[in-house]
A = this chain, B = another copy of it.
Amino acid sequence: MAKLKENSTNSQNRRFFTSCDMTYAVQIIGGRWKILILSALGKEAKRYSQLKKVLPGITERMLTLQLREMEMDGIVHRTVYPEVPPRVEYTLADIGRELLPICAQLHLWGGRHRNAATVNARGTGSKPESQEAGDAIPSKPA
């Protein structure tokens, strides 16, 4: 009960963020899995189960949710083949594909920076090994 605070700072900010081009973009690639999925699909279309394999540690729920959001955001396409064991393929839309170079730059920046910054401990273990996340990361975006 008490107050539902529909007009709290939180709500207002949320409204603002979707109205700012930059934060809007960050909301779309933000979160734990979005860019990884993006990169994974950057190489080629993949089906649900393939994405699961490629993304280490993602749960089915998260994969579904993220894909749904990305679909709503118009950066991936979803194609259902009404076959016997169901088959669903995910593809990058054009606007999604436009994000790939940005991902690549983030990847480069991350690499450079992590070597420079001497482990300022934001994770738990933080061994500075650059695991490449399967084929999730586009080594050559173009």
In whole angstroms, what is the CA distance A21 to B72 when docked?
Answer: 27
The count of identical subunits is 2
Q: A109-129 vs B: 1/0 string, CB under 8 Å?
A: 111111011001111111111
Decide: A25 and B73 in contact? CB cutoff 8 A.
Answer: no
In whole angstroms, what is the CA distance A17 to B34 when docked?
Answer: 12
A interface residues, how many (CB within 8 angstroms):
68
In whole angstroms, what is the CA distance A12 to B58 when docked?
Answer: 10
A92-142 residues with Cβ-Cβ distance < 8 A to B are 95, 98-99, 101-103, 105-114, 116-117, 120-133, 136-137
- Beyond A26-B30, A30-B30, is A18–B116 a contact (Cβ under 8 Å)? no
Question: With an 8 A cutoff between CB atoms, is A91 at the interface?
Answer: no
In whole angstroms, what is the CA distance A15 to B13 when docked?
Answer: 30
Decide: B20 and A131 in contact? CB cutoff 8 A.
Answer: yes
Decide: B130 and A21 in contact? CB cutoff 8 A.
Answer: yes
Question: With an 8 A cutoff between CB atoms, is A29 at the interface?
Answer: yes
Question: With an 8 A cutoff between CB atoms, is A36 at the interface?
Answer: yes
Contact residues of A with B, CB < 8 Å? 9, 11-27, 29-32, 34-36, 39, 56-59, 69, 72-74, 95, 98-99, 101-103, 105-114, 116-117, 120-133, 136-137
